[in-house]
Amino acid sequence: MKNRRLILNVLVASSVVMAMLFLFQTNIFAFAWHLRHGFHREFNGIRFAVPLFYQEAQGSTLNEFSIIANPSPIHKKHAFITVSFPPWTTDKPLRPMSPEDAGRIGMTLAGERDARFGNRAGKCVEYTQNRMALDGQERPSGLQPIWITCRFGEVDVDFDGSRNAVPEFYFLMESANEVKN
């Protein structure tokens, strides 16, 4: 009787673990990141809110950090967001690429918009990526690849991912707050 109960408990626990691995896949690593760091990241004197399914990417350097979200059955969004503090500053406004230049790298200008990085105003330029699906099927509009580049004076922010993750990108930028020492 005890052996049957033990076997049943092991089977139930194994089934739960397998279901979680299937549903969350690599998002489990993002949950582990949030357990260690909470739902924010402080970098270069600025605190950012990091959405639940995102984690810091391994390639972050001294003057930039990146977060990534991988798609899973539960979270059908893909995003790679990089915040850069380049060693140079520029007063030049962000301008979109010419249609010819964008076309050469497989992009089409989708639009421009004003945006906020905490209390800083800036501009973002959005491009759709003209990627052909290898299986010949059209992607749902929410999963269409998009690239966004933004400038806020001495801060550049880039997004590469699916269209359905764009609201989280703008949320991350708006959530930026200067950390007071």
d(CA 69, CA 173): 16
CA-wise closest residue to 158 among 88, 65, 71, 72: 65
Domain 2-178 classified CATH 3.40.1000?
Answer: yes
Q: What is the residue extent of each domain of the chain?
A: 2-178
pLDDT digits (tens, 9 = 90+) for 70-102: 887 777 888 899 998 877 666 666 788 888 888
Strands 155-162 and 145-152: antiparallel
In degrees and rounded to multiples of 5, residue 135 shows phi and psi of -90, 0
Answer whether residue 51 shows pLDDT above 70.
Answer: yes
Query: What is the mean pLDDT of the segment spanning 107-121?
Result: 90
Maximum average pLDDT range among 31-45, 82-96, 99-113, 159-173: 159-173
d(CA 163, CA 181): 37
Q: How many Å from the N-terminal Cα to the C-terminal Cα in the chain?
A: 62
The pLDDT, as a whole number, for residue 43 is 85
pLDDT digits (tens, 9 = 90+) for 120-147: 899 999 998 876 544 555 555 555 788 9
Between residues 13 and 56, the one the model is more confident about: 56
d(CA 179, CA 118): 11
Query: What is the mean pLDDT of the segment spanning 153-165?
Result: 90
Mean pLDDT of the chain: 80
The pLDDT, as a whole number, for residue 21 is 59
The pLDDT, as a whole number, for residue 29 is 74
